[in-house]
Amino acid sequence: MTSRSIERLTQSNKVNKVFIDGCWSAPLNSRRIAVINPATEESVAEVALGGEADVELALLSARKAFPAWSVTPVSERAAIIERIHRLVLDRTEAFAQALTLEMGAPITYARTAQVPLAAEHLRAARENLLSYQFETRRGDITIMREPIGVCALITPWNWPLYQITAKVGPALATGCTMVLKPSELSPLSALLFAEIVEEAGVPAGVFNLVNGDGATVGSALASHPEVDMISITGSTRAGVLVAQAAAPTVKRVAQELGGKSPNLVLPDADLERAIPLGVGACFRNLGQSCSAPTRMLVPRDRLTEVEDLAAEAAGQFVVGDPTRVETTHGPIANRGQYERVGHMIDLGIAEGARLVCGGPGRPEGLDRGFFVRPTVFSDVETSMTIAREEIFGPVLSIIPYDDVDQAVMIANDSVYGLGAHIQGRDPALLREVAGRLRSGQVHVNNPAWSPHAPFGGYKRSGNGREYGIEGLEEYLETKSILGLN
């Protein structure tokens, strides 16, 4: 598959450009990177990478644009966000094709999840903007919430468009200006998004895009004194590096990082419903989600039943060519992650976990591409590597427990605390367990996703929140004024 939108980006030479101050221009160095189709292991495009000089120009542009944009009326900002939202939906197919090419998202999943959920962040940002009180009174004190300033936005390769809109939406809404650095492994959807920003009429300098790697562009943004706030979604390792680089300039750092989310199946749960949904949630986006519930905690006396249901659910997946509409799971997004997932499956076997289904190697009939077999381990001990480290692939660990107190202890026995799931029937017990979990978000009985639910982590899963009002407020400073009538 060759996407017409990618052909157009190539023919217009935008793959060789950065977007700064409302203009497409060549970066000030000659570095390039191949964008690899993970299903074929072949290059689909080459993209120019920016450098420190490009970061300087982008930040200069953002700083220059900030005074005017920060005081733009709410109605104007809302209208621009609405136009961007509409354009994303209008170009769903172009984005879907790009996502399939650059990170292997199955085309049906890209059309029905990756793109529409990304659009929802824009809709939610507009709604929150229109209802938000930027000025309130507390007795004789006036409290104002003002845009923090110039923001650096660093987004990952696993949900490329979705994470862009989750940051750009509230940044635009609050009156901030920004420089976006998408992952160099999945940059094509970001270039398409920059085209939409331009078409929607965002003023020059408000939104800037510089493709580049973390060591160069990411580091330059994190350490730069002209950046007032940095928002990163990525690995915990990347978040630590950004925070260290940001510390000398005392800028705000919002981090959405790694996870090892538990799925606590209570003794009274309906297993025939809970287990297939839990397997599906774990393997959504091929397990390449930081909040994926990769640890399934189940009553020990029902372990065999759980294993049978999990194997049956995993067996329903269609792994293969992501361009085919019937494919449910495509390849791992890039070679580095593919090799890590394979290594972790090997470690699970070596450390004594019992393989229920899947295992090493590609699925049958696939001799190239970064494809892995959906894998379920059981009798996993909490000390095993697969129970403790983020794998970021389709690997589920089933961990038995003896009572609910032990299950909660196991669920919290992690350096991470991003997401958690609970399955059960007793509302009082569900509420009690949800309150005991050290996690930024808890899903009870597989509820629908909402762009208004604050998302972020405890512990090493990060700082700050995205989505909802709380995500909007990450981009605001608080000012108190005393003495005004």
User: What domains does the chain contain, in order, with CATH numbers?
Assistant: 4-257+462-481 (3.40.605.10), 262-450 (3.40.309.10)
Quick check: 451 and 123 in contact, CB under 8 A? Answer: yes
Going by their DSSP bridges, the two strands 373-378 and 354-359 should be labelled as antiparallel
The verdict on whether 256 is a catalytic residue reads yes
Which residue intervals of 257-372 are DSSP H helices?
Answer: 271-283, 303-314, 335-350
Place of tokens 């220059």: 64
Query: Which pLDDT belongs to residue 364?
Result: 95
Task: Tell me the pLDDT band of 208, cut-offs 50, 70 and 90.
Answer: very high
Amino acid at 26: A
Quick check: 70 and 100 in contact, CB under 8 A? Answer: no
Quick check: 129 and 472 in contact, CB under 8 A? Answer: yes
Residues 6+ apart with CB under 8 A from 168: 153, 178, 180, 193, 197, 207
- With 80 as the cut, is the pLDDT of residue 5 above it? no
| Residue 353 DSSP one-character state | P
Q: What is the mean pLDDT of residues 472-476?
A: 98
Please report which helix (H) or strand (E) contains residue 447, including its range: none
Chain Cα centroid distance, residue 147: 23
Quick check: 161 and 117 in contact, CB under 8 A? Answer: no
The verdict on whether 357 is a catalytic residue reads no
Distance CA 403, CA 29 (A): 60
Query: Which pLDDT belongs to residue 30?
Result: 82
| Residue 290 DSSP one-character state | T
**Integer distance in angstroms from the first to the last C-alpha of the chain?**
65
What percentage of the chain carries pLDDT values higher than 70?
A: 100
Q: What is the mean pLDDT of residues 475-484?
A: 97
Distance CA 272, CA 233 (A): 34
Residues 6+ apart with CB under 8 A from 225: 249
Quick check: 374 and 283 in contact, CB under 8 A? Answer: yes
> Per-residue pLDDT tens for 341-368?
999 999 999 999 999 999 999 999 999 9
| Residue 474 DSSP one-character state | T
- DSSP 3-state of 248: helix
Of the candidates 102, 184, 226, 256, the residue annotated as catalytic is 256
Q: Which of 175, 179, 131 is nearest to 155 (CA)?
A: 179
Residues 6+ apart with CB under 8 A from 150: 59, 62, 63, 66, 176, 177, 178, 179, 226, 227, 228, 229
Q: What sign has the CA pseudo-torsion 157, 158, 161, 164?
A: negative
Of the candidates 151, 176, 290, 357, the residue annotated as catalytic is 290
Q: 0.85 exceeded by the pTM?
A: yes
- With 70 as the cut, is the pLDDT of residue 24 above it? yes
| Residue 363 DSSP one-character state | P
Residues 6+ apart with CB under 8 A from 55: 179, 210, 212, 217, 220, 221, 224
Task: Tell me the pLDDT band of 2, cut-offs 50, 70 and 90.
Answer: low
Distance CA 19, CA 195 (A): 9
Quick check: 292 and 420 in contact, CB under 8 A? Answer: no
> Per-residue pLDDT tens for 113-158?
999 999 999 999 999 999 999 999 999 999 999 999 999 999 999 9
396 DSSP β-pair partners: 376
